[in-house]
Amino acid sequence: MTTQLTLYKEISRLSQGMVDAARANDWDSLVELERHVAALRDKLIATDASLTLSTPDLQHKQSLIQQILEDDAEIRRHTEPWMERMRQFLDTPNAQHTPPTRSRKPAITQKNT
């Protein structure tokens, strides 16, 4: 049986990988790691939260959550500027983004004789 603590440890490990990917601008790896984190998060939600942890385990869980939050902030420091540049790029009027106008010439049809 997978425990809450095991899931938090794995999420923390993956979030550190996400930090590394964000620092390297490796967006494909970042997205893939995020998918794994989302799957673990779903498992975590499904685990029995009523199980009580010992004080040391509870402290470890809190430490892992704090590290995950710090990793998330670091990832955002790298992704948000990139996302803002993309927004500006997509919002900028540009000939490449404007669909070409089509001429309204009548279609030529062939008559069968």
pLDDT, tens digit, 9 for 90 and up, residues 54-84: 899 999 999 999 999 999 999 999 999 888 8
* 11 class by beta-carbon count within 10 Å (0-12 exposed, 13-18 middle, 19+ buried): buried
pLDDT on residue 108: 42
| Element containing residue 97 per DSSP (H, E) | none
Tell me what pLDDT residue 50 has: 74
- Tell whether the model's pLDDT for residue 1 goes beyond 80: no
Closest residue by Cα to residue 81 from 31, 34, 12, 27: 27
Question: CA-to-CA distance for 46 and 40, rounded, in angstroms?
Answer: 10
Quick check: pTM over 0.85? no
Ranges of each domain in the chain: 1-55+65-72
